[in-house]
Structure 1
Amino acid sequence: MERGNETQISEFLLLGFSEEPELQPLIFGLFLSLYLITVCGNLLIILATISDSHLHTPMYFFLFNLSFTDICLTSTTVPKMLVNIQTQSKVITYAGCITQMNFCNLFVVLDDCLLTVMAYDRYVDICHPLHYTVIMHFELCVLLLLASWTLSVLNSLLHSLMVLQLSFCTKVKVPHFFCEFNQVVHLACSDAFLNDIVMYFTSVLLGGGPLPGILYSYFKIVFSIHGIQSTQGKYKAFSTCASHLLVVFLFYCTSLGVYLSAGATHSSLSSATASVMYTVVTSMLNPFIYSLRNKDIKRALKIFLR
């Protein structure tokens, strides 16, 4: 598709949550707090897993990467919004908007892939404990991580290249606090039918595709735990995967359930709120969930902080 003169725009306008001046300090303080908690919490998980040799296992290798992904995902969206509020500006450049969409798509899909890989890790640990170290060797962990990164990068590049082919009118106002892919595509002056088709296809494939695998893994895990005779053994087996199961529940409830319900209301405010849930709130809660439910993480954090 040829890009005409109307596509030569240099910037977008991010409308955010509210245009009321008196609410801007409250929004700024709230999101600055959420961002700092997210970064500090996930950074502590990263430092704890690096510093404690007892945590150099496949489970914590993937947890390390999940925390890194959560920091990157939040840093893709929140800092720009804070800068805009502080400078009383709503502007984001065209290149900045495309870049923000690209990295946001990348880290959301990577988050999903890592949760799927972690479910497989828990499945092998619970259902095949005697062969765990043989199956989940270092080379396989690295290969699974590289596959997750490759899939995420290719998906984000595909969407970004397709957005670059769209024509945009002047003074494009995005009713969101960041350049959310669906919002930007539907503001294009040219036909975005192909973009919608690819978006829905990749959402089902990469968003809904891993879910049956996760559910199957936990079905097998529950079946294996049920076969354990001792109560203490059952509790120990369940406690190793309870944190991950809760994180998976939060991720899918926020990114799918809340977002779909927001889409059904056709409200830009509901869509922005839903995006906050899966780009900020879930990333902020992950380190608390893993540290509160995991004695190894608690011990490593205590040693590190001392």
Structure 2
Amino acid sequence: MAGNPASDSAGRGEGVAGFALVAVLLFLLIVSAVITPFVLAARTDFLLSSRQYLIVRQQMLARGVAQAIARQIAGRDTVAIAELKLDSEPMRVRCGPHDLTIVAQDQAGLADLNTSPRGLLEAGFLALGFSAGDAANLADAAVAYRSPQGGGGGGANRLVPAGLKHFPFDAIEELYEFEGMAGMAPGTLRRVMTVYNRSAVIDPDAYSPALRRVLPDNPTSRHPYVSAAPLPLVYAMVSVEVVDPDLGVRGYWGGYFEFPEAEAGFKLMEPASDSVLLVNAPRALSEPFVATDECAAIVGPGVANWLANR
């Protein structure tokens, strides 16, 4: 019996339509497989860029806070200086939505690698954790390292395998040339040694905790380099960490500042690498952040108000 032409035509049409649907689905799957990695990569790049923006923003805030603190010091603001202490002890303060950790150090309270007498350098190496014998040898090597050509001896040469410089230290990181110093954290060095004291004495009022453990509060026959009177505040390091607790983003900035006695204002001598002081500083993390009014005392009311709205 002859088939129904209309029925055969309808069947073929349904078959073609079904094949076309499958082809379209396959095409969409192929396109999705090609596009999806690019979409995911673009989304990842966007998220990373957003995160990086927030980090840079926090770093800029940290730099602004550090410079605001420097301005307070330059103005000889006694309240701000008393709050900061300038002895490497970290302080924590809340400024609006931001949690700040601030570490400041008057460089007159540290041992200068270029101008300190040998005994003060020895005390510095003791404060860094070396034995009395090693501290004495390292002090001899440091004096030979900075002295003109011809200074030093076999012991000093042995402790500085790369050779004695016979010229002043440019930075405390040069101590990494010395035997036994390679594993020392930069922040640990910065709380004991400096190239910004620039005198042969040290101010006991500005001792860092490490130096306070090995030096007396007054000059003695053994420690004649301890100053009997407070030294002028001429150089200080200020390091700041800014954290936004809601976003979980933090930024760091630190720098060495000069405060000329005969001039108003301050000058940035050099930036310090991010967080070198903060991440190695002993922190009392269980202590709460102090209130915003303390923030105004440290950074100034204008900056405190500005931070409260950022």
Asked if Structure 1 and Structure 2 have the same fold, meaning a TM-score greater than 0.5 normalized by the shorter chain, the answer is: no
Structure richer in strand, relative to its length: 2
* TM-score range for the pair, normalised by the shorter chain length: under 0.3
The alignment's TM-score, normalised by the length of structure 2, stands at 0.21
Structure richer in helix, relative to its length: 1
